[in-house]
Chains A and B, each alone.
Chain A
Amino acid sequence: MKKLKIGDLEKIREKARRTANLRQGKARAKITVHMGTCGIAAGAREILTALMKEIEKKKIKDVIVTTSGCAGLCSREPMATVEITGKAPVKYVDLDAAKMKKILVNHVLKGTVVKEYALAIGSERTY
């Protein structure tokens, strides 16, 4: 049986090193896509894929994308939380790929909260 060998990785190492400041905690923003059963059922994986592709396309280097579990508001999934360093996190609800892209451009890049998709401003534990 074949072991998957990734040949190209060496080539992109140098390139990636210059842009890979995420691990050192230099990221300016963090986007958390909720991946509980409810989120997955509502399409969280597509949101995550769209988000990653858009970040790649726009060559954004200072944003971390991560996932979390169920936040207890299953009926409003897919949800994502956007945290800009030093600012209160914003939770977005009832998302789709297009809304996620808009949030990325307006909130993450330009700093304007997309109020019409936001649930509330605050941290993860609501109760």
Chain B
Amino acid sequence: MANPPKADDTASKAILRLLRDCFEIYRETQRYCDITNGVRNILQDLSLHILDIVENSIDAGAKKIEIIIKENVKQNMLVLKIKDNGKGMDKNTIAKALDPFYTTKKTRRIGLGLSMLAQATKEADGTFQIKSQKGKGTTVIAKFVYDHIDRKPIGNMTETIIALIAGKGMDVDFIYEHHKNSHGFVFDTRTIKKEIKDIPINNGEVLNILRENIIKELKRIGARP
């Protein structure tokens, strides 16, 4: 009887390691698929997408983040633009950024944010674009067909802006511009900081007044507050 083939020790160990890694990734993927399905249902509106993208910007070290929303009913178009001055991405990273299995985070292996917004534009016959330059910053532009049945609603922009200021307003400046047809307004935390001088912008009373003012302005331009 022929000798049974003797396993090459190093090779089999390497294969085992690989299998174990694969399994771990598979398990993690399954868990995230569950979450992603949930996410697609739960990140129902664009204001939550915006909060998410802006959190990315903050993670990228941005100190100034512009959030621009243009609702143009006549041209049947909704444009979202988020522009930051964070560390930016090189060409390779931009290409990878839309892959849901790409993340720079050390805490998990899968990123979701950008790919989900891209998906949301696709569902509403829109377009999605990332412009970035290493060391300069990143701009994300999402365009939607305004009256498309699958276009997610804008949602509660007021709470998104207030959540951002409450969490990071002391270190980061936010400029929120919202236009509806020919009306619009600009909300700039730099101006507000100048006005309130030594009061921190994340002070509860300040946030309340900011909240009321944003709601008032959104109503004035005919957008949903």
A interface residues, Cβ below 8 angstroms from B:
1-4, 6, 8-10, 12-13, 15-17, 19-20, 22-23, 33, 35-38, 40-43, 45, 48-49, 52, 55-56, 64-67, 69-72, 74-75
Contacts and interface: CB of A to CB of B under 8 A. Distances in A.
29 contacts: A3-B185, A4-B187, A4-B217, A6-B192, A8-B209, A9-B192, A9-B206, A12-B209, A13-B197, A20-B199, A20-B203, A33-B167, A35-B55, A37-B55, A40-B48, A40-B55, A45-B48, A45-B163, A52-B166, A55-B204, A56-B205, A66-B166, A66-B167, A67-B55, A67-B166, A69-B105, A74-B31, A75-B31, A75-B35
A69 B200 contact: no
A20 B205 CA distance: 10
Interface string B48-60: 1001100100010
8 closest A-B pairs by CB: A67-B167, A72-B107, A41-B39, A4-B187, A41-B42, A23-B200, A37-B113, A16-B199
Contacts of A10: 195
A72 B191 CA distance: 36
Nearest to B160: A45
A13 B200 CA distance: 10
A77 B175 CA distance: 29
Contacts of B192: 6, 9
Given A4-B217, A65-B166, A72-B108, A41 B38 contact: yes
Contacts of A38: 35, 39, 112
A13 B203 CA distance: 10
Nearest to B177: A1
Contacts of A23: 170, 200
Interface centre among B163, B185, B195, B213 (most CB of A within 10 A): B163
A70 B213 CA distance: 31
Nearest to B158: A49
Given A35-B167, A72-B107, A4 B186 contact: yes
B168 A67 contact: yes
A41 B40 CA distance: 8
Interface in B140-171: 159-160, 162-163, 166-168, 170
A15 B48 contact: no
A55 to B, nearest CB: 6
B79 interface: no
Contacts of B204: 52, 55-56
Given A36-B55, A37-B116, A16 B166 contact: no
B205 A15 contact: yes
Given A4-B187, A35-B167, A69-B59, A9 B35 contact: no
B207 interface: yes
